Amino acid sequence: MPRFVRFECDQRTLYGRVDGDTIHVLTGDLFQSREESGELIPLSRVKLLPPCQPTKLLAVGFNYRDHAEEFNTPIPESPNIFMKPLSCLAGPEQPVLYPKSMTHQVEYEAELVAVIGRRARHVSVEEAADYVLGYTIGNDVTARDLQDPTKQWSVCKGFDTFGPIGPWVETGIDPKAGLDISSWVNGQRRQHSNTRNLIFDVPYLVSWLSQSMTLEPGDVIFTGTPSGVGPVNPGDVMEMRIQGIGSLLNPVAAEE
């Protein structure tokens, strides 16, 4: 199944299909009249960008039972939804900026991210999968000391660069079959779980969200993180891994 990227090369921003170490350049974007132009570019020559351009970054809190338990939070009976601003988007290998003027506890959160493929409104759970183009990896970076006790989720999760996603959109995987998910800091594993442990799976989330808002092509849903979140500091390197997709690597840098 296709694997899609968005990238910069020779002062152009393009979409492409990845085949091994080669990108087949696409005309247009991933969502309308997607065709290959015939141009081939080595993957090593490009700068990977966030693989889509969403109108909304939606996210789910406490969607793994063990994560809710580590924060002594009741298991949710319905999805706990929040939004991250578009300005927090970051791409693969882009530094995540540590805003020390406002926080002293920045933490990583490995997450499976669903990418919407076509406009969805009042979609049933049974048909929801047809509205998902594929999946990528996300890191729901969080200023934890601003989240607790003030519960300022939009602020603590919305700083510039606090929403890395990538490296590409993988279309040939099924989270319900079970995908290992983990986070690593400086080469040491910090989180490890499986997408089978999601409380609310992707079809349920797409359907539930589509009852209240229109999901547009390219919109993304951060589906939640398992237990094991913890702090990082400038100079650290965060790597989020999901089976069948690959890894998303971002260094941490002090904000100037």
Q: What pLDDT does residue 179 have?
A: 97
pLDDT digits (tens, 9 = 90+) for 94-134: 999 999 999 999 999 999 999 999 999 999 999 999 999 99
Annotate 34-48 with b (16+ C-beta within 10 A) or e (fewer).
Answer: eeeeeeebebeebeb
pTM of the model: 0.97
Residues 145 and 208 in one domain: yes
Residues 88 and 20 in one domain: no
Report the CATH number that the domain containing residue 132 is assigned in CATH. Answer: 3.90.850.10
Query: Given pLDDT bands bounded at 50, 70 and 90, which one contains residue 32?
Result: confident
Q: Report the domain count for the chain.
A: 2
Residues 111 and 32 in one domain: no
pLDDT digits (tens, 9 = 90+) for 184-237: 999 999 999 999 999 999 999 999 999 999 999 999 999 999 999 999 999 999
Residues 141 and 34 in one domain: no
Q: Which domain holds residue 151?
A: 57-254
What is the three-state SS of 90-124? ECCCCCEEECCCCCCCEECCEEEEEEECCCECCCC
